Amino acid sequence: MIIHDCGDHALLVEYSDLAETMTYYRSLAQSPIDEVEDLVPAARTVLVRHNGNRDRVLDWVRTKDPANSTAAENSEPVVIVVSYNGEDLGDVAEATSMSVDEVIRAHTEQTWTVAFGGFAPGFGYLVGENDRLHVPRRNTPRTKVPAGSVGLAGEFSGIYPRSSPGGWQLIGRTDAPLWDVHRDPPALLQPGATVRFEQR
């Protein structure tokens, strides 16, 4: 790991890849110390916001052993019900050499984990248990993707929390409320949470 200072009240911890980042984030999140105010995971980093006691936080980060963390699978998964009728479902089937039904089964029969959030409030980057659904982004992004659209891009699956431009391959749609300012926390999909998709 490489640790960078981010001002007086944060450390940016850089890891070698997404899997290592997720493992260390889980370990950090399960046993925070009082000096830590927030943890923000990304694809290869975790931002550790703290109260200014840099040395104590630095020691804590350096001595974390991810082998001692509890697997995320111990928590109940968030269940997302999906209508698999996305505009790109046929293209995804062709790109993965599967039938449309096989794509749907591949999406619903594995457990997904929220690696990190980004792009828009409530958007979670989900990683699966295998690479069967790894597909590239669309060559031409759409100017408007409907809220609730379920997509694939690279190693990730994700759900658009609101209508926005986007270039992911759309395979379905859900009515799940991904972002609600009256909920605590507002985002339905929190980093480290597990997710299961069910066909409507």
For 16-65, write each residue's pLDDT tens digit: 999 999 999 999 999 899 999 999 999 999 999 999 899 999 999 999 87
Same fold, 2-63 and 78-199: no
Domain chopping of the chain, boundaries:
2-63, 78-199
Q: Is the pLDDT of residue 73 over 50?
A: no
Cα–Cα distances (Å) from 137 to 61, 64, 89, 186, in that order, read 35, 35, 13, 28
What pLDDT is recorded for position 70?
A: 59
180 phi and psi angles, rounded to 5 deg:
-145, 110
The CATH code of the domain at 2-63 is: 3.30.1360.40
Omega before residue 185 within 30° of 0, cis: yes
CATH architecture for residues 78-199: Beta Barrel (2.40)
What pLDDT is recorded for position 52?
A: 84
Summarize pLDDT for 147-179 with one digit per residue, the tens. Answer: 999 999 999 999 999 999 999 999 999 999 999
CA dist 80 and 113 (Å) reads 13
What pLDDT is recorded for position 68?
A: 64
